[in-house]
Every structure is written in structure tokens, then in C-alpha cells.
Amino acid sequence: MSSLNKSSFFQIFLSYLPTIILFLSVFNEFDFNYLRIENFSFNFVHILIFYWTLRNPNFLSYLSIFLAGLINDVVIGIPIGISSFCYLLICSVTAYIRNITLSPSFINDWLSFLFIILLINSIQILILDLIYLYEVNYINYLINSGFTFIFYPIFFFIFNYLNQKIIIQQND
């Protein structure tokens, strides 16, 4: 196990893990965004992008986020470019928070996350509803935003563990 931990392949794999999870989430049919449970859904990709671009942007490049957005649009069938734009807006907020914050705090991150998911879901509704004339269910968006916000702490601790593991591996 210790030899596995020290192998360069494992180190590379760990450093690409956030990107792999991101692409699997957008490509795969299984989606937390649609769990076939009445009035329950959350956007795992938003949490993933927010956490990694805020805490360790070196492991999730903006280009891969842009491409993941394009893929997500094609797979779920909404006009191409919308998800990329929303994902990059998350990145811009996290980049700004990183620049103005000296000591990161979980509560501040969590509240910023609420602001950004409400902002990007509003933008998505505006684009789909007003420009493309898609009929969208506002309640679904609101429920999705609410659960995404509530689930952030759980994934925060999982990703934090992973992040520490990656940093330890990189420094070994």
C-alpha cells in the first residue's frame, strides 16, 4: 500500500481526480441533478467547481471547466455555451474571493456559494426563458439551489480530505 502511495502514477491520478470526477459527472447518465425523486435534486458539478477553484485551482483548470460546460449542454440538450458561462462565473467569484481573503473560513465560503448559485441559476433561467423561450420550472430551480447549498458542507469535508491527500502526495 505504501509503495502504491508513492507511485508516480497514483500521484498523477490523484492530481487529475477532480477533473476526472468533473468529466464523469457531465458525461454519465447518473446525475444528482435529476435523481427521479420528487422535489429533490442538487447540482454536484456546481459544488465541485466551487470547492476546487476556491481551495486548489491548480487541480481543476478553467479550460477543462469550459469544456465540461459545453459537454453538459450537449448531453442535457440545452443551447450550447450556457453551462460553460455559468461554470466560469463560479470560477470568477471564487477567484475574486481568493484574492480578497487572507484566511479562508468555511462559513464565508458557504455564504458566497449561496450567492453564486442563486446568481447563476437566475442567469440560466433568464437565458433559457427570455432568449430561447424555453418553458422552465422556477420551483425546480429553487429546490435545486436550496439542496445544492445544503449539501455543500458534506462535499466540502469529502473534498477537503481529498485535497489534503493530494497535497501530501505532491509533497512526498
Partner 1 sequence: MAVGRDHFVIAFRSAFLKKRDKQRFSLLTLIFLSIIVIILGNFNFKAINFIKLGINEVIYRTSFIVSMPENYIKKGNIHIKEHINLYDDYKNKEKEIKRLKQQKLSNDYLILENKRLRDLINESINSEEIFAKVLIDKESPYLKSIVLNKGSKDKIKIGMAVIDGIYLVGQVIEVNYTNSRVLLLSDLNSKIPALIEPLGIQAVVSGTGKNHGEIEYTKEKYKDEINSNEMIVYTSGLGGLFKPGMPVGKINSDIKNDIVFFSDFSQLDYVKVVSYIIGSNK
Residues that bind partner 1 (CB under 8 A): 24, 27-31, 33-34, 36, 38, 41, 57-58, 61-63, 65-66, 69-71, 74-82, 84-85, 88-89, 91-92, 95-96, 98-100, 127-128, 131, 134-137, 140-141, 144
Q: Minimum distance between the CB of residue 152 and partner 1, rounded to whole angstroms?
A: 18
Using DSSP, state whether 37 is helix, strand or coil: strand
Of the pair 101, 164, the CB lying nearest partner 1 is at 101
When the beta carbons of 111 and 131 are compared against partner 1, the nearer one is: 131
Q: Which residues sit opposite 110 in a β-bridge?
A: none
Compare residues 68 and 162 and give the one whose CB is closer to partner 1: 68
Whole-angstrom Cα distance, residue 140 to residue 136?
A: 8
Angle between helices 138-171 and 8-27 (to 10 degrees): 170
Query: The cell 469535508 sits on which residue?
Result: 157
Min. distance of Cβ 83 from partner 1 in angstroms?
Answer: 9
Check: CB of residue 66 under 8 Å from CB of residue 84.
yes
| Residue 72 backbone dihedrals phi, psi, to 5 degrees | -60, -45
Q: Which amino acid is at 30?
A: F
Q: How far is the CB of 27 from partner 1 (least distance, A)?
A: 4
Task: Write down the least CB distance from residue 7 to partner 1, Å.
Answer: 22
